[in-house]
Amino acid sequence: MYKSLQLFLSLFFLIGYCSAQTIDYSSPDEEENKSTNFEIVGKLNSKFIIFKNSRNKSFFNIYSNEMKVEAKKMTPTLPAEIISTSFVLYNDGFLMFYQYQKKNVLSLKLIRFNNQAEPIGDVIELDTAHEESNTTENKSFKVLVSENKQKIMTFKLNKTGKLTYNFKSILMDKEARILHNSNGVFNTNGKNEFFSEFMVDNDGNFASLWSTGTPQSDNISSVTIMKKNAMEDTVSFCPVTFSGIYLDDVKLKVDNMNHHYLVTSFYSKQKRGNVDGLYFFGCDSRNFQQPFFNKATFSDELRNDAKSDHGIKDAFNDYYLKNIVFNQTGGFLIITESESVSTKTNNLYNRWDNINNSFYMNSYSSTYDPYYNSMYGNRNTVSRFLADNIVFFSFDEKGTILWSNTIRKSQYDDQHEHYVSYGMANTGEELHFVYNLHEKNALYLNQTSVTTSGNLLYNSSPMRNLDKGYDFLPRLGKQVGKKQMILPCLYGNITCFAKIEF
């Protein structure tokens, strides 16, 4: 009797959930082929806005709730030499930052748009910089947005000597009013150093990681949190304490609710050894006080749960840090995923040759570029992109593990990495994960939801209303509402979009 009632309740809630989940597709437009670059701006006035660039023409498509194109708004004329675009969405409009390089001059400009995707005022030139080359592989200006979107900072770092770096930054509010300009200099030891994890917190303070030991090395010898206060020109430093271990895939995250910086990393006890666990370092984001550090060593039970084709000892060697989610008490959830690339040589890439980076360098981008070759460059070898299990770790505010769980999946693609990995939506009550799985020589979009207590719901369940012919690119998706995501997809050779309601 009890089992029957339990089965009935399970089916009742599952049916209720499935009836609520819907997918709406945009219609294929033959003018927008696979080479169309795009960026999902977000939801405004119950409409969805997507920026597109095709054949040197830039415009916004405005979609209805049913993903029907209601308007096409051309942008002001943009240079052909654009390197990158960034959008910041508000309730009454959005900001568009773009940078381009012409000859040896790099320019960063800003356009304001109203809620109809129409430009307001003139194009604003924010900054320029002289580059030695007329091409650039990196986005030289960082456009950083705080979690509450009330502070925006542009930041540029230049090495001017063996030991000297110049930096310049512009801090703005949400109206694009300049609050502070900074120009400064700081010195380093000049030995195999690199900077990563640039961010601005809700108070307008800039933070980054300064590490020694090159990204191509197999040993990070030191990690330091670098901070510039919002209204100051000087930089302060907080060394990250660790000894007797080797760090890899080091990340920085700001907890705006509790005013903390959190540094996380996988660690190994031996040089080029198997991943042994997770390392944490935290401190007060306002004054670097009350530091703490801790290690969580993976048990054999956890390793056995996480491994796919690996053994227990090397179960986490292909895992990388993907997301960190804080709660109100200062605890945090770490989301990791197994990523790898196999080739005919079968041993071309491994995590120790690409320290501090996952294989899929474009993990958080919402811009699709079919000619983007990730970190591998042009090559004649055939590569297979793989993304397997997702493992979650829940910790309290001191880094003590509370629970863990695993979403089991096996993904591969021989063309590029956009079909593998996952998209995520945070509704507060649950984290929703969507990802492709192969079934009968076809890709089907599946989902798993994770509750705040670590339970898995609808685990690897195919989503409803999956129209034939649409292939999803989940890792390029974006959450646009509390229970809404926009996922790009391909219909044949045409770029389309799907709205998912959870």
Per-residue confidence (pLDDT) for residue 136, from 0 to 100:
43
Per-residue confidence (pLDDT) for residue 218, from 0 to 100:
65
What stretch of H or E contains 20? helix 2-20
Read off the DSSP letter of residue 26.
P
Q: Tokens 């060697």 label which residue?
A: 317
Contacts of 347 (CB under 8 A, 6+ apart): none
Do the bridges between strand 105-114 and strand 93-102 make them parallel or antiparallel, or are there none, so unpaired?
A: antiparallel
Per-residue confidence (pLDDT) for residue 343, from 0 to 100:
77
Entry field: residues in the chain = 502
Per-residue confidence (pLDDT) for residue 130, from 0 to 100:
84
Q: At 378, is the pLDDT very low, low, confident or very high (cuts 50, 70, 90)? A: very low
Alpha carbons within 13 A on the beta-carbon side of 293: 11
Tell me if 415 sits within 8 A of 406, measured CB to CB: no
Q: Given a cut of 50, is residue 7 above it in pLDDT?
A: no
Tell me if 162 sits within 8 A of 132, measured CB to CB: no
60 to 55, 122, 307, 415: CA distances (angstroms): 14, 18, 44, 28
Per-residue confidence (pLDDT) for residue 381, from 0 to 100:
63
Tell me if 222 sits within 8 A of 215, measured CB to CB: no
Taking residues 375-386, what's their average pLDDT?
61
Per-residue confidence (pLDDT) for residue 214, from 0 to 100:
58
Question: Per-residue pLDDT tens for 274-284?
Answer: 999 999 999 99
Per-residue confidence (pLDDT) for residue 353, from 0 to 100:
59
What does pLDDT average to over the chain? Answer: 86
Taking residues 352-381, what's their average pLDDT?
43
Which has more pLDDT, 415 or 64?
64
Question: Per-residue pLDDT tens for 89-117?
Answer: 999 999 999 999 988 899 999 999 999 99
Tell me if 390 sits within 8 A of 337, measured CB to CB: yes
Per-residue confidence (pLDDT) for residue 30, from 0 to 100:
75
How many C-beta atoms lie closer than 10 Å to residue 481's C-beta? 16
Q: Given a cut of 50, is residue 345 above it in pLDDT?
A: yes
Query: What b/e readout covers 368-384, taking b as 16+ CB neighbours within 10 angstroms?
Result: beeeeeeebeeeeeebe
pLDDT above 70 coverage of the chain, percent: 85
Q: At 297, is the pLDDT very low, low, confident or very high (cuts 50, 70, 90)? A: very high
Q: Two tokens at 286?
A: 């306002």
Q: At 134, is the pLDDT very low, low, confident or very high (cuts 50, 70, 90)? A: very low
- DSSP-assigned beta bridge partners for residue 42: 49
Question: Per-residue pLDDT tens for 67-94?
Answer: 999 999 999 988 888 889 999 999 999 9
Look at residues 168, 176, 213 and name the one whose alpha carbon lies nearest to residue 195.
Answer: 213
* pTM (2 d.p.): 0.88
Q: Given a cut of 70, is residue 370 above it in pLDDT?
A: no
Residue ranges of E strands in 46-192 = 47-54, 57-63, 69-74, 82-90, 93-102, 105-114, 119-130, 142-145, 151-159, 164-173, 178-187
Per-residue confidence (pLDDT) for residue 77, from 0 to 100:
87
Per-residue confidence (pLDDT) for residue 149, from 0 to 100:
97
Edge-to-edge strand order for the sheet containing 105-114? 82-90, 93-102, 105-114, 119-130
Per-residue confidence (pLDDT) for residue 216, from 0 to 100:
56
Per-residue confidence (pLDDT) for residue 160, from 0 to 100:
85
Per-residue confidence (pLDDT) for residue 15, from 0 to 100:
42
Per-residue confidence (pLDDT) for residue 308, from 0 to 100:
81
Question: Per-residue pLDDT tens for 381-437?
Answer: 678 899 999 999 999 998 899 999 999 999 999 877 889 999 999 999 999 999 999
Question: Per-residue pLDDT tens for 164-189?
Answer: 999 999 999 999 999 999 999 998 88
Question: Per-residue pLDDT tens for 234-281?
Answer: 999 999 999 999 999 999 999 999 999 999 999 999 988 999 999 999
